[in-house]
């Protein structure tokens, strides 16, 4: 049997098995589980297609003899059997998202805020739906799992927002709907504060929200070793200031900005949202408005990232007036275990007067936002519902929301 076939199929089979039952401890094995299973876990159909294509090619070349046939058959059967299991598990995200929104915002939140759809999922815009029947974008999920295409979305790239070169650049994504007064979504990439770049993470989220009329911004920020926690947060604040100052030229509403981030970016998005107007993080622009309407964290790490006297966890900055918060995390995340997000949510709920939505996605690993997947499409629908509620005048109906003044 050719080595190339063994390597190809072996990686997919191992990834499939780790997607079904990840190794959680010790930490290095948990990280390896995440790395090897990330693609198959979110896009099992891609793994199945890859194995089938490799097997057909090997058969056509006459590479199977004796025991090799049994090995290939076992590999194919394993992936074929696991694919519907992984797909069904991903579909359970629907119930998890709905339950989390009902618990965080109240059972009547859909009537108050409406629920939208992103990229063909659910209803449209902020119109309340007739029901909760989700229309998943199956063509993209099956045929184009990598969200590379920006069909219907225009990107204006590499706009400067600060003085630090390419690390202070952002992209603006806008759909065909150019109606004025569009809400703004700012997304911050992951990468452990050492790597990563704009427009690599959560592309399906950016493109989907842009198609629904949002002005979406994906931003770089300074990274280690040349920068530290304070620098990261200052950069995020500069992005918020830039978005407000340039809202009119992009047809956006400067009063409605939602901060979102993935992994390390989630830490920064939530910290910046919790420290609006804090002069310690706004050197030279202390008087600028850096408040946001809400914050969204995807598979984030929310603990302290640096020793020293300056608090470097968003939990250190929580106060009763923090904006509405949505935290989404995978219950199978072996890189940042879900218990970390649960503790952070509990800490915020103990202090915040506003709503905190906690979505724990069944079967999701770290980096679940890199693909057009069943799970992420469902979550995007939930994020649209959450942001529709944030923008609604009826949002005070949610539990924990401050009473009208």
What residues contact residue 4 under an 8 Å CB cut-off, 6+ apart? none
Say if residue 43 is preceded by a cis peptide, omega within 30 of 0.
no
What residues contact residue 189 under an 8 Å CB cut-off, 6+ apart? 196, 197, 198, 199, 200, 201, 218, 220, 261, 262, 264, 265
* Comparison of pLDDT for 396 and 151, the residue scoring more: 151
- Average pLDDT of the segment spanning 242-249: 97
From 199, 263, 313, 373, the catalytic residue = 263
Rg, C-alpha atoms of the chain: 22
- Percentage of residues in the chain having pLDDT higher than 90: 77
pLDDT band at 346 (very low <50, low <70, confident <90, very high): very high
What residues contact residue 307 under an 8 Å CB cut-off, 6+ apart? none
Say if residue 225 is preceded by a cis peptide, omega within 30 of 0.
yes
- CA atoms of 356 and 379, how far apart (whole Å): 16
pLDDT for 60 equals 83
- Average pLDDT of the segment spanning 283-293: 98
pLDDT for 63 equals 67
From 235, 333, 369, 381, the catalytic residue = 333
If we measure between CA atoms, which residue out of 241, 358, 246, 242 comes closest to residue 300? Answer: 358
Tokens representing 108 are 């009547």
Q: Which CATH code is given to the segment(s) 107-397? A: 3.40.50.1820
> What's the chain's average pLDDT?
90
From 366, 367, 369, 381, the catalytic residue = 366
- CA atoms of 322 and 328, how far apart (whole Å): 18
pLDDT at 402 over 90: no
Rounded to an integer, what is the distance from CA 250 to the centroid of its chain?
24
If we measure between CA atoms, which residue out of 174, 156, 250 comes closest to residue 216? Answer: 174
Structure pTM?
Answer: 0.92
The per-residue pLDDT for range 132-158, each reduced to its tens digit, is 557 899 999 999 999 987 889 999 999
pLDDT band at 108 (very low <50, low <70, confident <90, very high): confident
End-to-end CA distance of the chain: 73
- Average pLDDT of the segment spanning 104-114: 73
Does the annotation count 263 as an active-site position?
yes
The residue assigned the tokens 């992984």 is 86
pLDDT for 56 equals 86
* Comparison of pLDDT for 183 and 74, the residue scoring more: 183
Domain boundaries, the chain: 3-90, 107-397
The per-residue pLDDT for range 49-95, each reduced to its tens digit, is 999 998 888 888 876 666 667 777 888 899 999 999 999 999 999 99
pLDDT band at 253 (very low <50, low <70, confident <90, very high): very high
pLDDT at 121 over 60: no
The per-residue pLDDT for range 296-343, each reduced to its tens digit, is 999 999 999 998 777 999 999 999 999 999 999 999 999 999 999 999
Distances, alpha carbon 399 to alpha carbons 69, 102, 108, 142, 393, in Å: 59, 9, 10, 38, 15
Any idea which of 62-71, 157-166, 173-182 has the lowest mean pLDDT? Answer: 62-71
DSSP string, 273-342: HHTTT-GGG-TT-TTS----SEEEEES---S--S-SSS--SGGGG--TTPPPEEEEEETT-SSS-HHHHH
pLDDT for 65 equals 67
pLDDT band at 109 (very low <50, low <70, confident <90, very high): confident
If we measure between CA atoms, which residue out of 322, 324, 181 comes closest to residue 254? Answer: 181
* Comparison of pLDDT for 113 and 83, the residue scoring more: 83
pLDDT for 5 equals 79
pLDDT for 133 equals 54
The residue assigned the tokens 């696991």 is 82
């Amino acid at each position: 049997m050719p080595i190339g076939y063994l390597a190809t199929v072996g990686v997919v089979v191992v990834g499939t098995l780790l997607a079904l039952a990840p190794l959680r401890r010790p930490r290095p094995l948990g990280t390896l589980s995440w790395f090897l299973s990330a693609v198959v876990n979110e896009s099992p159909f891609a793994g199945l297609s890859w194995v089938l294509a490799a097997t057909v090619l090997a058969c056509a070349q006459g590479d199977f003899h004796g025991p090799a046939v049994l090995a290939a058959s076992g590999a194919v059967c394993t992936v074929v059997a696991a694919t519907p299991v992984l797909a069904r598990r991903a579909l359970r995200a629907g119930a998890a998202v709905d339950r989390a929104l009902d618990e965080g915002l109240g059972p009547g939140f859909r009537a108050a805020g409406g629920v939208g759809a992103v990229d063909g999922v659910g209803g449209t815009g902020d119109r309340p739906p007739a029901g909760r029947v989700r229309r998943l974008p199956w063509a993209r999920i099956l045929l184009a799992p990598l969200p590379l295409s920006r069909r219907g979305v225009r990107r204006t790239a590499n706009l400067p927002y600060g003085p630090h070169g390419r690390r202070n650049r952002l992209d603006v994504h806008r759909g065909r709907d150019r109606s004025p007064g569009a809400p703004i979504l700012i997304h911050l990439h992951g990468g452990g504060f050492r790597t990563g770049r704009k427009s690599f993470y959560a592309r399906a989220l950016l493109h989907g929200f842009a198609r629904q009329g949002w002005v979406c911004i994906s931003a770089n920020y300074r990274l280690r070793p040349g920068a530290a926690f304070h620098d990261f947060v200052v950069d995020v604040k500069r992005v918020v200031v830039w978005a407000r100052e340039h809202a009119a030229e992009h047809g956006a509403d400067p009063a409605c900005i939602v901060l979102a981030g993935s992994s390390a970016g989630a830490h920064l998005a939530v910290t910046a949202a919790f420290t609006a107007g804090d002069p310690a993080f706004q050197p030279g622009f202390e008087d600028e408005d850096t408040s946001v309407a809400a914050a969204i964290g995807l598979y984030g790490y929310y603990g302290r990232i640096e020793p020293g006297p300056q608090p470097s966890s968003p939990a250190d900055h929580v106060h009763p007036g923090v904006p509405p918060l949505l935290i989404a995390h995978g219950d199978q995340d072996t890189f940042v275990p879900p218990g970390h997000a649960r503790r952070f949510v509990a800490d915020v709920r103990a202090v915040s007067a506003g709503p905190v939505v906690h979505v724990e996605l069944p079967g999701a690993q770290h980096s679940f936002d890199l693909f057009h997947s069943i799970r992420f499409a469902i979550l995007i629908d939930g994020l649209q519902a959450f942001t529709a509620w944030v923008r609604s005048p009826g949002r005070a109906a949610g539990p924990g929301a401050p009473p009208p003044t």
